[in-house]
Structure 1
Amino acid sequence: MRAEDRNFGCRIKRDLVYKGYEAVVMENEAFRLTVLPGKGSDLIELLHKPTDTDFAWFTRLGLRPKEAAFHDFQSQYEGGWQEILPNLGGRQMHRGTELAAYGEAALSAWRYDIEEDGPARIRVVFRLELRSLPLAVEKSFEMTSGEAGFRLEERLTNVSPAVVHADWGHHITFGEPFLVPGTRICLPGEDAPYELPAKGSPGGFGVLPAGSGRYALMRPDGIGAEVGWDAEVWPHLWFWRDHGGEASPPYFGSHYNVGLEIFSSPPAATLEDSIDAGTAVRLEPFGTVNASLMFRVLQQPREP
């Protein structure tokens, strides 16, 4: 049997199109991950098969095709999980170069290669060379047979002889149907978990130190997820909540979700602001920065 036809253990499906976007599906007996290389390498499916729980969240509009009038990050934002590089915040000029809102990485098409494809383990590497700044990013997704989750190893490289700075991180969101009132979120450095309130409650935003680089969400029925990351590279955890209590744009009270986003910097209007604050990633000439991340499903036994 050819690797692309394998229907057991770990397997990879490629040459797929979903809503007009190229899709790569990585899965094993317990978990399925779907990545859109043509749309910023967005993660749009994080499915735990035994419980039919998809941790990926979609906005009220969901995944829409790219159109000439709607090409920026916000108008294309479907929820899910994005890589943010090389800047935060809105469209801006940085030392004579125009940077797209939230960075070009989430708007670009990534190349990918399958590096390992066996029933015990699979690994796919996604690559992008930025146009706005001389940076190249490479990230490797790995899944092992029977494990409900994945590991990500990432490398950011300065491909120039100049010092280059960047803001970098992962825009990770969770929402319905996974999230329900009463879901508890264990945050780094917090003594008590945050418990999600009823729908229609006010939301909020805060930035927490990453601490050991782990957080977990646990639903009342014992289904949850854990994210762990390299806190030295991404030392800031952005925690935003939309519980449907605000009728303002862009979501008009339609959502019940949280963002648990890991970044090199706290919120900043421009990359220059992060540089001035000393929080931007600094890459020496032809230098590299390595980082890692993991996602795994948690299950607690139900009380009798």
Structure 2
Amino acid sequence: MTEPRVSTHHGWELLHLTSDDLEVDVVPGKGGDVTAVRWRPLDVDVMWRTRWGLRPRGEHITAGSSEALLMQAYPGGWQTVFPNAGAPSHEHGVEWGMHGEAWLASYDWSAVDGASAGSAAVELRTDLVRSPFSIVKRVEVAGPSVTVTETVTNDGAEPVEVMWSQHPAFGAPLVGPATRIETAARTIWLDPATPAAWPNDGFDRVPAPGSGVSRLAFLADFAEGRAGIVNDELGLRADLTWDTSLMPHAWYWLEAGGRAGFPWYSAAYVLALEPATSWPDAGVAGVRSTTGTQLAIAPGESRTATVTLTLAATAP
């Protein structure tokens, strides 16, 4: 096992986990975010970064909606979405903001003993405030793969309904006009009333930057938990795998200059494929009244989800 290297950036502690194939950065103090996944053979980071990146720790935060506050703290990369996803939701006497509290929480961390040779792993822990959950998050890098394993435990004495997903956002050079999307999904929903077979209307291809396209869709009916982003011109593919028994859906989010105004101002170029328990992007309350795909967690119950990202060269 390789001990993580520790550095600082804008006052944040950064953990650097490496294998022969990958260099992965984790920010424990900001959601346990994975902010970089670099494929060493090509020296390419596949994660997307927002224009403003990781803001200095402790900077003044102006008032605003939960979306504005979340975006100000969003550096890009790979986040945990829990216990809410999409729109804010009023639950148990308090507002759960856009994409939930785990996205913004600070985690304690420790290196993991016993990881296999040539790998590196850390374990992160936090207790949420607006919901009665504790979270244990393990990030492990081994060979060409980085795996995020999370266990959430309801430490309260009441059952609680949640939404839970992983939010890895990918950017250039992996994402470009030569990129295609492969998935084991059989159905794509553009909204709760519009199902279609995958692919639909070119959703398996990525438009060029600045093409004025903005997409949000929801994938379902997976034959297996698998989705891939493939760029043969770059010679690289990124494959996500996960257990569909807990996360039977995936959100598909793409910006190619299509959303004007805050937060992207028609300039973002990003693709995210997000394994998820629930859909659509309506928050727990909205999902409860539409698809009924929210997840109920009983008092004292723990649930565990694992998502793995594997990078590989494409065939010449």
* Global fold match (TM > 0.5): yes
In 2: Cα distance, 1:157 partner to 1:301 partner? 42
- Residue in 1 aligned with 2:214? 203
* Shift in Å, 1:210: 5.8
Q: Which SS does the other structure have where 2:216 is aligned? A: strand
Q: Deviation digits for residues 34-75 of structure 1, max 9, x if unmatched? A: 110001111111001111010111122222225333482112
- Residue in 1 aligned with 2:52? 61
- Residue in 1 aligned with 2:174? 178
- Indicate yes or no: 2:112 matched with 1:115: yes
* Shift in Å, 1:268: 4.1
Counterpart residue identity of residue 157, structure 1: T
Counterpart residue identity of residue 129, structure 1: D
- Residue in 2 aligned with 1:34? 25
In 1: Cα distance, 2:14 partner to 2:62 partner? 21
Counterpart residue identity of residue 45, structure 2: D
- Residue in 1 aligned with 2:16? 25
Distance 1:197 1:89, change over 3 A: closer
Seq. identity, %:
28
- Residue in 1 aligned with 2:132? 134
- Residue in 1 aligned with 2:79? 82
Q: Deviation digits for residues 175-230 of structure 1, max 9, x if unmatched? A: 12331211111122356671212222223221111611110111122211101112
Counterpart residue identity of residue 135, structure 1: F
Distance 1:85 1:70, change over 3 A: farther
* Shift in Å, 1:151: 2.1
In 2: Cα distance, 1:143 partner to 1:174 partner? 18
Contact 1:11 1:119 in 2 (8 A): no
Matches within 5 A, 1:146-225: 147-189=143-185, 194-201=204-211, 202-209=213-220, 211=222, 212-221=224-233, 222-225=235-238
- Residue in 2 aligned with 1:269? 282
Q: Deviation digits for residues 117-164 of structure 1, max 9, x if unmatched? A: 6743332111111111111111212233xx112223221111122212
Q: Deviation digits for residues 214-257 of structure 1, max 9, x if unmatched? A: 10111122211101112121222111211124433321121221
Contact 1:11 1:118 in 2 (8 A): no
2:299 to 273, 285, 292: 285
Q: Which SS does the other structure have where 1:248 is aligned? A: coil
- Residue in 2 aligned with 1:294? 308
Distance 1:159 1:40, change over 3 A: same
More deviation, 168-177/276-285? 276-285
Superposed CA RMSD in Å reads 2.1
Listed as ranges, the gaps of 5+ residues in structure 1 are: 1-8
Distance 1:210 1:115, change over 3 A: farther
Count of matched residue positions in the alignment of Structure 1 and Structure 2: 291
In 2: Cα distance, 1:47 partner to 1:270 partner? 32
Q: Which SS does the other structure have where 1:203 is aligned? A: strand
Distance 1:32 1:136, change over 3 A: same
Counterpart residue identity of residue 13, structure 1: R
- Residue in 2 aligned with 1:230? 243
Q: Which SS does the other structure have where 2:170 is aligned? A: strand
In 1: Cα distance, 2:130 partner to 2:221 partner? 28
In 2: Cα distance, 1:61 partner to 1:214 partner? 31
Normalised TM-score (structure 1): 0.88
Contact 2:33 2:80 in 1 (8 A): yes
- Residue in 2 aligned with 1:3? none
Contact 2:232 2:314 in 1 (8 A): no
In 1: Cα distance, 2:230 partner to 2:158 partner? 45
In 2: Cα distance, 1:209 partner to 1:10 partner? 38
In 2: Cα distance, 1:70 partner to 1:28 partner? 40
Contact 2:217 2:253 in 1 (8 A): yes
**Divergent runs of 4+, >6 A:** none
- Residue in 1 aligned with 2:36? 45
Counterpart residue identity of residue 128, structure 2: L
